[in-house]
Amino acid sequence: MTTRSGGMISHFSREYEMLPFLKSLFPEENASSEPNTADQGVRFVTTQGINYYLDECLKKAQKEIILIAPYIKIEPRLREILMERKSKGVKIVIVCREQELRDSLSDIATLLLDRPTLHAKCYLTESAAIITSLNLYTFSQINNDEMGLVIHKERNESLYNDIKDEALRLCHAGNTRVCKEENTQQQGVLQLGKEYEQEELNAFFGFSYKGNAGIKQSERGDIVLFIRTGSNKYQNEEKNGILYFQGQNTGEGEQKLIYGNKLLYDCYQNRESHIFLFRDNVYSGKYFICQQPYMQSGRWFFPLRPKTA
């Protein structure tokens, strides 16, 4: 029981509460009669230990890797390991705050999932899981004081399964699969500045309407915008970092707030919505509606900014 003196936890009680953690750092000095958590498939580790076990777990992965962390900037050695595992057919799922990304993950990720509220850090393969305070960020892996637990499935399957169930929930993957087999190309692997054939984009996004259009909706409900250079029909203006995207025609007379215009309007003040922009089929990145959409001269205009801005 914790004792208190003057409203503060006593020095003695704080030392007592920390005793199990301190003992785990020096197992050779512990009494042999006390249980060892390592025998239960759980090992306490600090910064260097986390990096070591993360390397080992990833190198041994044969089926799947799930990396969950809000902030990700993969250091070169780890990137090499992940690229090699991906080339061997290992599925690599990364869950992060996509808006915080500072480099591309297309060379290592089979599937990239955006979770803006993410704060958990968990790294999982088919045989082990690491629960930790460590972000997959180069600075954190070298400079920060971190701690975590390594859980081996073979020796503690129940705890491992609990962790994996939560990881799958964060992946929005149901109870059985992380990657959907019907589409091996997934959002998050688009390359900025790359020109795509229309057939590629149809397959990538799963458009139900295959013809040309300025506003399309993917099978996941995302909005995909297309700008055609030199078009006299649509006048998209860019000023002070804002792209004023003109809505689509909806018949004779002024444009109505239906079809693609309504889809795009509903993205206003919803930062979790995904809007992809292509200029002459060259990928320009993800955007959000930064100001109230408005109508001018019978046409709808949607003010857009890049999500990374």
| Mean pLDDT along residues 7-14 | 44
Domain 198-306 fold is PUA domain-like (2.30.280)
Radius of gyration of the chain (CA): 25
More confident residue, 206 or 219: 206
More confident residue, 130 or 228: 130
Whether the pLDDT of residue 15 is over 50: the answer is no
Where residue 129 falls among pLDDT bands split at 50, 70, 90? Answer: very high
Whether the pLDDT of residue 126 is over 50: the answer is yes
Residue type at 278 in one-letter notation: F
Where residue 290 falls among pLDDT bands split at 50, 70, 90? Answer: very high
pTM score above 0.75? no
Whether the pLDDT of residue 76 is over 90: the answer is no
- CATH number belonging to domain 35-170: 3.30.870.10
CA distances from 225 to 63, 177, 184, 304 (A): 36, 30, 22, 11
| The two three-digit tokens of residue 265, written as one number | 């309007």
Rounded CA-CA distance 240/50 in Å is 45
* Residue 128 C-beta-side C-alpha neighbours within 13 Å: 19
Strands (E), the chain: 4-5, 8-9, 42-46, 64-68, 72-73, 91-96, 111-114, 122-125, 128-132, 136-137, 147-152, 215-217, 223-227, 237-239, 242-246, 275-279, 282-289, 294-296, 299-306
Whether the pLDDT of residue 251 is over 70: the answer is yes
| Mean pLDDT along residues 162-183 | 60
Residues 6+ apart with CB under 8 A from 205: 216, 218, 219, 220, 222, 224, 276
Q: How many helices (H) and strands (E) does the chain have?
A: 7, 19
Domains of the chain by residue range: 35-170, 198-306
Enumerate the β-bridge partners of residue 186. Answer: none
| Mean pLDDT along residues 157-170 | 90
pLDDT digits (tens, 9 = 90+) for 32-71: 444 555 567 899 999 888 989 999 999 999 999 999 999 8
User: Percentage of the chain with pLDDT > 70?
Assistant: 78
Where residue 159 falls among pLDDT bands split at 50, 70, 90? Answer: very high
